[in-house]
């Protein structure tokens, strides 16, 4: 059985690499004999990191060949069906789905976060194509509502959870990360992880966040910036650090998914703009707060009864201190994360059931 995986893979984005690891691991647990093939921006690196066969995502002959030979296409996770960054990427991922359906191959949207899609033609096209796939699982209710607004009604729409919740760190990974970053050994200092990204609409937040981080340092916290999209997030991390009066650490290494998860497991608080920084924290039982630049952040925070952080430093600090001092809320967040972990494991079972039903 051959399964093709299509997504934003091979571009050094920690969240999307985590998705690939989570999807492939879940499928392998349930169907060890399945052959998995990835459409990747860097096939050699994808093969090395994930032990999966990969082909270049923009090689038309390779894409056609693999889809023709496939038993199932999984359009996997993330936020690939949106046109905020560009319509070009949206058209690419839709074209892969259309080609698979032309070859009469089953297609699954796997725990997708869908939208925003703003251009009328793009909305019409996505709705039309989505109505012709075999199964759609979604990571949040907002994505389901959006697809229903587009008129998607033919395949089942099931809200599960982000596949990354199925990932767990191990003692060996933690030991390795403590060797790489010895300062994480220090149990006398609480650690705040910060994952930021550049976003023009939020310009000016940097100074406010820096004030908050300085205040947390005065309260005894150590501040560690962890880029999730390498190397793009390094520059934005350095911008925020430039406004701080107190010193902070920046983890400049290009970490693997397992290493990101192990590092975040050592934090006492995660402040994140990157969705998968927040998901990693939740999965590890680490308290987290989010700075929203996209509806997907709002939707994720809403799952835990949280709101995006205010933009002003005073209100931002107040929200953080209120969360850290509320043990009942922290325990509720851990319970919700456990529930999402169970739901995330349903994605692979539902996807493989499509193959059984197609026989």
Tokens 């060797």 sit on residue: 179
Q: Answer whether 286's CB lies under 8 Å from 265's CB.
A: yes
Q: Whole-angstrom Cα distance, residue 154 to residue 205? A: 42
Portions of the chain given CATH number 3.40.50.2000: 2-159, 171-341
Burial class of 172 by CB neighbour count within 10 A (0 to 12, 13 to 18, 19+): exposed
> What DSSP element (H or E) covers 108?
strand 107-112
Sheet hosting strand 53-56, strand order edge to edge: 53-56, 35-40, 2-6, 72-76, 107-112, 135-138, 157-159
Q: Give the pLDDT score at 346.
A: 93
Burial class of 249 by CB neighbour count within 10 A (0 to 12, 13 to 18, 19+): middle
Query: Rounded to a whole number, what is the largest CA-CA distance in the chain?
Result: 63
Q: Whole-angstrom Cα distance, residue 75 to residue 7? A: 6
Q: Give the pLDDT score at 357.
A: 79
Q: Cα separations (Å) of 37 from 25, 63, 143, 176? A: 13, 10, 27, 29
Q: Whole-angstrom Cα distance, residue 351 to residue 27? A: 9
Q: Answer whether 253's CB lies under 8 Å from 237's CB.
A: no
68: helix, strand or coil: helix
Q: Give the pLDDT score at 168.
A: 87
Domain 171-341, architecture per CATH: 3-Layer(aba) Sandwich (3.40)
Nearest CA to 4 out of 94, 83, 80, 65 is that of 65
Q: Answer whether 290's CB lies under 8 Å from 273's CB.
A: yes
Residue 229: DSSP 8-state: B
* Digitized pLDDT (tens) for each residue of the chain, 359 residues in all: 899 999 999 998 888 999 999 999 999 999 999 999 999 999 999 999 999 999 999 999 999 999 999 999 999 877 899 998 888 999 999 999 999 999 999 999 999 999 899 999 999 999 999 999 999 999 989 999 999 999 999 888 999 999 999 888 889 999 999 999 999 988 889 999 999 999 998 999 999 999 999 999 999 999 999 999 989 999 999 999 999 999 999 999 999 999 999 999 999 999 999 999 999 999 999 999 999 998 889 999 999 999 999 989 999 999 999 999 999 999 999 999 999 999 998 999 999 999 887 76
> What DSSP element (H or E) covers 290?
strand 288-290
Q: Give the pLDDT score at 78.
A: 76
Q: Give the pLDDT score at 359.
A: 66
Q: Whole-angstrom Cα distance, residue 355 to residue 357? A: 5
Write down the CATH number for the domain with range 2-159.
Answer: 3.40.50.2000
Q: Answer whether 100's CB lies under 8 Å from 2's CB.
A: no
Nearest CA to 276 out of 83, 18, 24 is that of 18
Q: What is the pTM of this model?
A: 0.87
């Amino acid at each position: 059985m051959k399964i093709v995986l299509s997504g934003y893979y091979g571009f050094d984005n920690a969240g999307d690499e985590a998705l690939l690891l989570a999807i492939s691991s879940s499928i392998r647990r349930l169907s060890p004999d399945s052959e998995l093939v990835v459409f990747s921006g860097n096939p050699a690196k994808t093969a090395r990191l994930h032990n999966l066969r990969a082909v270049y995502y923009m090689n038309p002959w390779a894409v056609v060949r693999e889809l023709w030979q496939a038993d199932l296409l999984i359009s996997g996770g993330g936020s690939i069906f949106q046109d905020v960054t560009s319509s070009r990427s949206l058209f690419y991922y839709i074209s892969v789905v259309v080609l698979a359906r032309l070859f009469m191959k089953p297609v699954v949207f796997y725990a997708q976060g869908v939208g925003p899609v703003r251009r009328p033609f793009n909305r019409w096209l996505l709705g039309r194509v989505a109505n012709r796939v075999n199964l759609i699982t979604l990571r949040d209710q907002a994505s389901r509502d959006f697809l229903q607004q587009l008129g998607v009604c033919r395949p089942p729409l099931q809200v599960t959870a982000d596949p990354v919740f199925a990932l767990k760190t191990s003692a060996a990974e933690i030991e390795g990360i403590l060797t790489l970053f010895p300062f994480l050994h220090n149990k006398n200092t609480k650690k705040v992880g910060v994952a930021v990204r550049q976003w023009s609409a939020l310009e000016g937040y940097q100074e406010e966040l820096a004030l908050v981080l300085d205040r947390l340092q005065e309260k005894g916290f150590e501040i560690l910036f962890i880029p999730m999209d390498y190397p793009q997030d390094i520059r934005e991390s350095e911008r925020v650090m430039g406004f701080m009066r107190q010193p902070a650490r920046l983890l400049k290494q290009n970490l693997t998914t397992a290493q990101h998860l192990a590092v975040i497991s050592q934090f006492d608080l995660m402040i994140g703009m990157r969705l998968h920084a927040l998901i990693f924290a939740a999965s590890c039982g680490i308290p987290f707060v989010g700075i929203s630049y996209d509806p997907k952040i709002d939707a994720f925070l809403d799952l835990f009864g949280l709101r995006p952080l205010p933009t002003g430093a005073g209100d931002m600090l107040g929200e953080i201190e209120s969360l850290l001092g509320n043990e009942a809320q922290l325990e509720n967040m851990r319970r919700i994360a456990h529930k999402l972990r169970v739901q995330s494991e349903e994605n692979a079972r539902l996807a493989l059931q499509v193959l059984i039903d197609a026989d």
